[in-house]
Amino acid sequence: MSAPILSVNINKFATIRNARGGNNPNLLQVAKDCESFGAQGITVHPRPDERHIRYADTIALCDVVSTEYNVEGNPTQAFIDLVLQAKPTQVTLVPDSPETLTSDAGWDCITQAAYLQKTISIFKEAGIRTAIFIDPVVDQIKAAKQTGTDRIELYTEAYARGFANDKNAAIAPYTLAAEEAEKQEIGLNAGHDLDLENLKFFKQELPNLLEVSIGHALVCDALYLGLHNTIVAYRNQLK
* Residue 69 near residue 61, CB atoms below 8 Å: yes
Burial class (CB in 10 A: 0-12, 13-18, 19+), 239: exposed
Which ranges constitute the DSSP H helices of 37-145?
Answer: 55-60, 77-86, 113-125, 138-145
Percentage of the chain beyond pLDDT 90 is 95
pLDDT in tens, 172-207: 999 999 999 999 999 999 999 999 999 999 999 999
- Phi first, then psi: give them for residue 3, nearest 5 degrees: -65, 150
- Per the residue annotation, which of 68, 180, 192, 211 is the catalytic one? 192
Active site residue 68: no
Q: Look up 211 and say whether it is catalytic.
A: no
45 is catalytic: yes
The pLDDT score that the predictor gives to residue 2 is 84
Instruction: Please give the pLDDT value at position 105.
Output: 76
Residue 169, helix vs strand vs coil? helix
The catalytic position among 45, 68, 180, 211 is 45
d(CA 11, CA 158): 22
Does 1 score more than 70 pLDDT? no
Contact 94, 73 (CB under 8 A): yes
pLDDT per residue over 216-237, tens digit each?
Answer: 999 999 999 999 999 999 999 9
Q: Which of 72, 153, 180, 211 is catalytic?
A: 72
| Domain annotation for the chain: domains and CATH numbers | 5-237 (3.20.20.70)
Expressed in angstroms, the distance from the first to the final Cα of the chain is 11
Q: Give pTM, 2 decimals.
A: 0.95
The string of pLDDT tens digits covering residues 51-100 is 999 999 999 999 999 999 999 999 999 999 999 999 999 999 999 765 55
